[in-house]
C-alpha cells in the first residue's frame, strides 16, 4: 500500500428539494384545497474516523465528494425524501483544515469520531404550508436551499508513543526492525526510508508503538533533502529516540544539526523528552567510542545509550527508558486530571 499523508478534496452538501404547488382534485370531495408537500433536506458531508486505515491514499483517486439532493415535494401532502449523506472515512490521526491550510476544523484521535463538515440545504415549503384563513388557495412554494461547497485539506499525523529521529543512515530502520515485526527497507545508501514506518514494540509484557521517519539533514527545514514535512508524524509522540551514527567523524555536530532542524520545525518537538543513542558501537574501537561518548555528553547534557541495531547490544535498555518516560507522562496527566476534578467539586 502506498503511503499518502496529505490530500486536498472538494466537498459539496446536497441542495434541498423544492416545495410543490398542488391542489386536491378528487371525485366526491366537495372541498379540495392546497396539498403541495415540502421538499426533502439535502444530504450532509460527514467525516468519520475509521478503523483499519493508515493512509490517505484513497483520496488520491477521488477528490470530489457530493452529497445527495433532496427530492421535491409532491401532491397529497407528500414530503420529498431527504438526500443521502456522504461520509469521508479517514484514519486515526487525521487533521482537517480549511483551504488556507491553517484553520483547523477537526482532529481525529479516536475511532468512531464524527463531524459534519457541511450541512445539507433545507427543503422548500409546499403551498399547503402557506394556507391561512385569508389565503385558502396559495399558489406559491419555496425552492430548496442550495447546498454549500468548499475545498478542505486532509493531513495525517501518525499516532505513535515514541519516534525515531536522526540523519540518513543512522540505523533507524535497522533499529525498528530489531525491536518490532516491522519490515522497513534497509540499505547502505542515504534516504532508504522515503515514508514513515510504524512498528509495535513488545517488552516485559508491555507494548508501545514506535514510528520511524525519513532522515533529517542539515537544511531540511529549508527543503534540502526530503525536507521536514514528515516531522508532523512525531508531533504526537511522548518521547523521541535520537539515533546518531557512531561511524560519523563529528557526532557532536550531527547531534546539533538534527536538534536545530527539530527546533526550526516546531517548539513542541524541541521540548519533547529525548533519549540520545549512539548507534553502531560494534564498529568502533574502545578509545574512539569513549571519545565520541564524551563529545555527545558535552553537547547534549544527557546520558548516552550505546547500542548496536545489528547485534542487539543495549537495545533493551533503550526500550525500558522509553517505557519509563511514557509511564511518567501518564502519571503526570492523571495527577493533573485529579486536581482539576477536585477543584471542580470543591465549594
- Binding residue numbers: 173, 191-195, 212-215, 279-282, 308-310
Judge residue 222's burial from the number of C-beta atoms within 10 Å of its C-beta, 0-12 exposed, 13-18 middle, 19 or more buried: exposed
The kind and range of the H/E element at 236 are none
Binding site, annotated residues for GTP: 191-195, 212-215, 279-282, 308-310
User: What distance in Å separates the CA atoms of residue 276 and residue 280, rounded to the nearest whole number?
Assistant: 13
CA distances from 89 to 8, 51, 66, 176 (A): 14, 9, 14, 29
Phi first, then psi: what are they for 78, rounded to 5°?
-90, 120
* Plot region of 186 (φ>0 → left; ψ -120 to 50 → alpha; else → beta): beta
Return the C-alpha torsion angle 311, 169, 191, 53, nearest 10. 40
CB 34 within 8 A of CB 128: yes
Return the C-alpha torsion angle 64, 68, 72, 78, nearest 10. -170
What is the number of residues in the chain?
Answer: 347
User: What distance in Å separates the CA atoms of residue 231 and residue 215, rounded to the nearest whole number?
Assistant: 10
Name the residue among 122, 102, 107 with its Cα closest to residue 39. 122
Binding site, annotated residues for Mg(2+): 173, 193
CB 124 within 8 A of CB 65: no
β-pair partners for 209: 200
Q: Parallel, antiparallel, or unpaired for β 149-156 and 6-12?
A: antiparallel
Amino acid at each position: 500500500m502506498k503511503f499518502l499523508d496529505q490530500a486536498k478534496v472538494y466537498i459539496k452538501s446536497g441542495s434541498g428539494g423544492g416545495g410543490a404547488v398542488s391542489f386536491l382534485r378528487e371525485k366526491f370531495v366537495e372541498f379540495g384545497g392546497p396539498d403541495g408537500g415540502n421538499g426533502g433536506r439535502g444530504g450532509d458531508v460527514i467525516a468519520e474516523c475509521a478503523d483499519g486505515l493508515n493512509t490517505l491514499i484513497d483520496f488520491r483517486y477521488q477528490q470530489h465528494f457530493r452529497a445527495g439532493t433532496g427530492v421535491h415535494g409532491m401532491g397529497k401532502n407528500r414530503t420529498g425524501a431527504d438526500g443521502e449523506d456522504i461520509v469521508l472515512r479517514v484514519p486515526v490521526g487525521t487533521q482537517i483544515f480549511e483551504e488556507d491550510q491553517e484553520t483547523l476544523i477537526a482532529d481525529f484521535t479516536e475511532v468512531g469520531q464524527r463531524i459534519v463538515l457541511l450541512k445539507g440545504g433545507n427543503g422548500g415549503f409546499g403551498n399547503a404550508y402557506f394556507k391561512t384563513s385569508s389565503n385558502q388557495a396559495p399558489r406559491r412554494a419555496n425552492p430548496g436551499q442550495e447546498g454549500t461547497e468548499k475545498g478542505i485539506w486532509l493531513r495525517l499525523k501518525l499516532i505513535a508513543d515514541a519516534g525515531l529521529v536522526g540523519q540518513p543512515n543512522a540505523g533507524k530502520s535497522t533499529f525498528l526492525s530489531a525491536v518490532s515485526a516491522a519490515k522497513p527497507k534497509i540499505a547502505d545508501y542515504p534516504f532508504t526510508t522515503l515514508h514513515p514506518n510504524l512498528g509495535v514494540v513488545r517488552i516485559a509484557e508491555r507494548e508501545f508503538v514506535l514510528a520511524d521517519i525519513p532522515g533529517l539533514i542539515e537544511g531540511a527545514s529549508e527543503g534540502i533533502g526530503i525536507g521536514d514535512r514528515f516531522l508532523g508524524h512525531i508531533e504526537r509522540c511522548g518521547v523521541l529516540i535520537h539515533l546518531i551514527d557512531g561511524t560519523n567523524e563529528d557526532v557532536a555536530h550531527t547531534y546539533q544539526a538534527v536538534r536545530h532542524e527539530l527546533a526550526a520545525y516546531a517548539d513542541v518537538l524541541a521540548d519533547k523528552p529525548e533519549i540520545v543513542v549512539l548507534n553502531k558501537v560494534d564498529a568502533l574501537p574502545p578509545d574512539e567510542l569513549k571519545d565520541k561518548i564524551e563529545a555527545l555528553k558535552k553537547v547534549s547534557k544527557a546520558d548516552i545509550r550505546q547500542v548496536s541495531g545489528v547485534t542487539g547490544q543495549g537495545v533493551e535498555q533503550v526500550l525500558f527508558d522509553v517505557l519509563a518516560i511514557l509511564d511518567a507522562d501518564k502519571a503526570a496527566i492523571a495527577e493533573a486530571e485529579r486536581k482539576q476534578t477536585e477543584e471542580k467539586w470543591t465549594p
